[in-house]
């Protein structure tokens, strides 16, 4: 019983509604769908900025969709992550105002995208990142556009898996840079939640036996060396749901041009996600440097 409960908490989909739309922020957009290499249909928005530069946003996992996090229906996670809803359309607003088009999409098993099973914390979702970059690369409006990744938590894990495993990810010549927001491996997350070892082990055992999902080990960390574009890493140094030494190890493993931005925010993981919406300068400075 405990194993299923822990597994449900960590990898069960269906907790990430699309709770608002870009028109509420005065943004021009279209609803889009596209397919992954394994046939999964993903749903998203293409926010219309310029035609020469595009940002692909990949959101965090389980509790999140393309538009962010809503406390409604979140149970014990309601205040553990953050004290209010998190609106990703706030940072989309300033990206569009700066001339970027933005693809905001739901990864599989999130939001309005196809339900296929369980959330894998990035390993399978890597195919979603590749499909999103391919979609904008092949879009008729963006034939000359350079591309940046805004990869958040599990979204950045999926991006790193993509660089390390998917040959196609290395073939996108117009993919120029990535912002990696709060890299996090599953093992440190469950430990940080204060769960005793026997519950963690029970959840992992249930995942392997009943859901064909193994979340033990170093996750995406062995693939960090394969990231091939300049990367800005953003981390709240007071984040209680991570291991700061792991974040430093992630940063050290990057072999590209890189920068580390430490934030001194409230002691909640969601503080950095909410920070994105109100702090355009470091985000735009980084993207403007590499996307021209």
pLDDT tens column, 132-162: 999 999 999 999 999 999 999 999 999 999 9
Q: Are 258 and 113 in contact (CB under 8 A)?
A: no
Alpha-carbon separation of residue 32 from 27, 46, 137, 139 (angstroms): 15, 7, 14, 11
Which H helix or E strand runs over 133?
helix 126-138
For residues 44 and 33, the answer to whether their CB atoms sit within 8 Å is: yes
**pLDDT 10s digits, 50-104:** 999 999 999 999 889 999 999 887 666 667 789 899 999 999 999 999 999 999 9
Spatial CA neighbour of 207 closest among 10, 16, 63, 38: 10
- The phi and psi torsions of 147 (rounded to 5 degrees) equal -125, 140
Average pLDDT on 179-202 reads 77
Q: What is the pLDDT of residue 126?
A: 97
Specify the pLDDT at position 73. Answer: 75
Q: Under CATH, domain 2-290 is a member of which superfamily? A: Alpha/Beta hydrolase fold, catalytic domain (3.40.50.1820)
For β-strands 29-35 and 41-47, DSSP reports them as antiparallel
Q: What would the two tokens of residue 188 be?
A: 């440190």
Q: Which residue has the tokens 């990035």?
A: 122
Tell me the CB-side half-sphere exposure of residue 30, using CA atoms within 13 A. Answer: 7
Residue 38 CA to residue 41 CA, distance in Å, equals 9
For the stretch 234-272, pLDDT in tens is 999 999 989 999 999 999 999 999 999 999 999 999 999
| Other Cβ atoms closer than 10 A to 252 | 11
What is the token pair recorded at 196?
């005793």
Distance CA 138, CA 256 (A): 26
Helix (H, G, I), strand (E, B) or coil at 101: strand
The tokens for 109 are: 């098993």
Hey, is 291 helix, strand or coil?
coil
Phi, psi of 177 (to 5 degrees): -165, 170
What phi and psi values does residue 12 have, to the nearest 5 degrees?
A: -75, 125
């Amino acid at each position: 019983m405990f194993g299923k409960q822990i597994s449900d908490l960590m990898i069960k989909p269906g907790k990430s509604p699309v709770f608002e739309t870009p028109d509420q922020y005065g943004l021009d957009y279209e609803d889009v769908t596209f397919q992954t290499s394994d046939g999964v249909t993903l749903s998203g928005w293409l926010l219309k900025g310029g035609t020469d530069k595009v940002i692909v946003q990949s959101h965090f996992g389980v509790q999140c969709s393309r538009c962010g996090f809503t406390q409604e229906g979140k149970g014990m996670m309601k205040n553990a992550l953050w004290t209010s809803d998190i609106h990703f359309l706030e940072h989309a607003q300033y990206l569009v105002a700066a001339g970027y088009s933005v693809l905001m999409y739901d990864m599989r098993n999130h939001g309005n995208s196809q339900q296929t099973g369980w959330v894998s914390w990035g390993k399978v979702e890597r195919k979603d990142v590749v499909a999103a970059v391919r979609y904008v690369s092949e879009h008729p409006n963006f034939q000359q556009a350079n591309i940046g990744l805004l990869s958040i938590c599990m979204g950045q894990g999926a991006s790193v898996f993509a660089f390390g495993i998917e040959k196609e990810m290395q073939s996108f010549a117009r993919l120029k840079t990535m912002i990696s927001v709060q890299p996090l491996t599953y093992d440190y997350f469950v430990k940080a939640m204060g769960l005793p070892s026997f519950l963690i082990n029970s959840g992992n055992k249930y995942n392997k036996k009943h859901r064909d999902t193994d979340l033990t080990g170093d996750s995406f960390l062995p693939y960090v060396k394969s990231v091939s574009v300049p990367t800005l890493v953003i981390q709240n140094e007071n984040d209680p749901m991570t291991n700061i030494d792991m974040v430093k190890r992630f940063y050290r493993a990057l072999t590209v041009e890189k920068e580390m931005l430490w934030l001194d925010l409230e002691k909640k993981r969601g503080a950095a996600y909410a920070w994105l919406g109100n702090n355009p300068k470091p985000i735009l400075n980084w993207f403007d440097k590499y996307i021209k």
